[in-house]
Amino acid sequence: MDERINKLIDSWKKRNIQGLYCNNKEEAARKMLELVPQTASIGFSGSVTMDQLGIVKMLTERGNSVFNQYTPGITREENLRIRRLGTQADYYMGSPNAISETGELVFFSAYGNRISGISNARKVIIVAGINKITQDLDSALKRAREYATPLNCKRLEWNTPCFKDGTCHNDICLFPEYKRMCCQILVIEAEVAPERLKVILVGEELGF
């Protein structure tokens, strides 16, 4: 583990956030399964990182009750209802858009379930590849807005200006012309409840 990661985990400790390091996604998935009781209910926000870990499938298969808004065949209304229920589950999981070396965690959200779950669930496990680490909070916000969100819009085919050219046009990205993805922003600077928030940092590139 390099010095930069040691410092980041130390910084989290002072912010009441528990930082854990795993060498790869397989190790990270095992760690998540270990941290969550088999009887716990789970809510999550979808992300490429979570997909790469395959953690939702693993939790479902071993019998955890998972609020899965991506269950095939459900209506839009049901999808939104499950997102809301997921934020009240025993554990909430997700991945940030960026992490600053100084320890802040940045999440952008369209519907807000991710923000609600991460900021308020009883227990939270955040997972991220080291590619999401930036120098400071400003560059973390910049990464989320100018790099991660345009790629997410592309992936999910959202009608945004960045979907068209890969560049953020914040000033014109408004309704009804566009379906803006960056509607809410959460920056976690610290956590008041001990043991509530854990971050698993993975020593490889995951998501974007």
Residues that bind ligand SF4 (CB under 6 A): 145, 149-150, 153, 160-162, 168-170, 173, 180-182
DSSP 3-state percent helix, strand, coil across the chain (nearest 5): 40, 20, 40
Largest CA distance in the chain: 47
Q: What's the N-to-C CA distance of the chain in angstroms?
A: 21
Smallest gap from Cβ 51 to ligand SF4, in A, equals: 20
Residue number with CB closer to ligand SF4 (45 or 149): 149
Residue number with CB closer to ligand SF4 (26 or 138): 138
Smallest gap from Cβ 132 to ligand SF4, in A, equals: 16
Residue number with CB closer to ligand SF4 (34 or 165): 165
Smallest gap from Cβ 112 to ligand SF4, in A, equals: 15
Closest alpha carbon to 190 in 89, 113, 102:
102
Count the alpha carbons within 13 Å of 181 in the hemisphere toward its beta carbon.
Answer: 24
Residue number with CB closer to ligand SF4 (183 or 193): 183
Q: d(Cα 82, Cα 72) in Å, to the nearest integer? A: 13
Smallest gap from Cβ 153 to ligand SF4, in A, equals: 5
